[in-house]
Structure 1
């Protein structure tokens, strides 16, 4: 381990307390561009005299702020303030469908506007700069689109298993598009896609596609069952799938990646069966300041993986941003 990475003591404490919010956490709501309530949280690392900046987390599909506590604790211990936001349609942010269990969106565009509102209303002038965005999967997708549409807000971005395209397991993309288009036009856009259901505890069939770590995988169920059932969201609907496919087409359009000037770290799970690694790799090559790091052996939920995979994640982050100043090393 280099002296720029978090110490074993910091990592161990964050793991042990990953189901508890940091003591100075503040959970609030802001009104987005359209008046809808979006949930966010600030983790100011209030014991740090001169914070090094703020890491802002965006969760993946079905996820919520609480799932990032482990990494928020590590960043706090390293002198960074943190913030996080529940994407609309999940967590405890506004949901556009009357059935809260269905993951339904009208478009991915409001996600981009929500992130801008987060900066403008909840972070600017309230949290220390520089700002660094960090997300997982669909949250990382939103980050990439935000960087394109709103340059200058952040210094860097860390994207974990970003949804550049959805993994289709060999099914032709036009077939999936035709199915989702057809279901919408039959009035079934709010129906669950094949294999998806309302929220269920356990979901061990899914675990085999997400992480090798059973204990960390159970974190999501813990928060839903023991903290607030409103955090739960079920499977994706055909409308969500249609909008995700449209948004990934936009992301992969000619000139789109090339217009993103912000330095971006892409952390790729070599065993991912949720998002398309080939598309990720191609996208990374098109970024003017992109860096691709493959986490060998990891599955899609890299931040919920076993310790050895997470160690590789933190080594990559340490190479991308200055985690520790030389004067900090002894304290770590």
Structure 2
């Protein structure tokens, strides 16, 4: 599926689309950009749940301006990658190992053969947790990682992780893993109003995301299934063991949003303390999607990124 361009959100120049096949036979969409002039390496943008490449055009452009090649892909079950359920708008995996397969296939098929080193990762939310899981097994995968609002525990909008894990596990044992949680439904695009949204305080960037969904509804994903929630809880439970953080050998900067209600800023702070070569900053006032926030908050993000990633000079 071709990348969609929009009047106020055009595809950055030079996009090269690719198809990636995972070890378990799932087709993923990927894209690569190369800037003009001397290359400083490659930044791999790793999305959160329910996101697509189109959402990150602005970020791609900002990285190209910094002299980095950029590579990204859509997770299985979202964006323009393959979906396995009859209802394609359900967000679903049975285990986060599936996401690790996606990331490894992207590394082997796109990053290593087609992109210049050194390799850096810029991951959001669910993507941050998957990158941490992979980093334990492949400590040479990336030179550095920048994780924005990584999913290490649920935020204030959700019941406790223990309750969700127990309930989702019980429903999954009853064969209901592909179903949506009780009371959940897939909202239509027109229902997603800006007021009270937990993702961003920037109305222009919020509307830009909605415009993508209206123009390409097939890219969108709704609520996660019970099995997805159970898989996420198991992955977060594993990450909550202090030994997990201590085993990561890739220098990592974790950036938390001060007003995050989707994931827990406290869990991010705790995890960063447990890392041997990790650090954390908090952007006050920011909601969950820091990269889609207002310019002053994004400015703080880019200042931290530029100070952490070698060769980045803004």
Would you say same fold, with TM above 0.5?
Answer: yes
TM-score by length of 1: 0.88
* Rounded Cα–Cα distance in structure 2 between residues aligned with 1:191 and 1:205: 27
CA offset at residue 155 of structure 1? 0.3
Contact 1:86–1:93 (CA under 8 A) maintained in structure 2: yes
Name the counterpart of 2:147. 159
Between the aligned partners of 1:205 and 1:79, the Cα distance in structure 2 is: 34
Q: In structure 1, list runs of 5 or more residues that go unmatched.
A: 1-15, 326-331
Matching residue of 2:19: 29
Q: Is the 8 A contact 1:199 1:233 kept in 2?
A: no
Q: Which residue of 2 aligns with 1:107?
A: 95
- The answer to whether the 8 A contact 1:209-1:300 is kept is yes
C-alpha deviation, 1:182, in angstroms = 2.2
1:164 is displaced (CA, Å) by 1.0
Quickly say closer, same or farther: Cα 1:258–1:18, change in 2 above 3 A.
farther
Structure 1, residues 76-122: CA drift from partner, whole Å, max 9, x if none? 01111100011112111122212101111121101112211111111
Residue among 288, 291, 298 paired with 1:303 = 291
Structure 1 residues 233 and 250, CA gap change in structure 2 (3 angstroms): same
1:1-332 pair list within 5 angstroms:
19-45=9-35, 47=36, 49-167=37-155, 171-194=159-182, 196-202=184-190, 203-204=192-193, 208-226=197-215, 228-324=216-312
RMSD: 1.9
Segments of structure 2 that go 5 or more residues without pairing to the other structure are 1-5
Deviation per CA, 1:129-177: give whole Å up to 9, x if none. Answer: 1000111100111111111121101100010000011225584433222
Query: How many angstroms apart in 2 are the aligned matches of 1:183 and 1:255?
Result: 30
Partner of 2:3: none
Over 3 Å counting, the alpha-carbon distance change for 1:223 and 1:288 in structure 2 is same
Q: Is the 8 A contact 1:271 1:296 kept in 2?
A: yes
Displacement of 1:224 in angstroms is 2.5
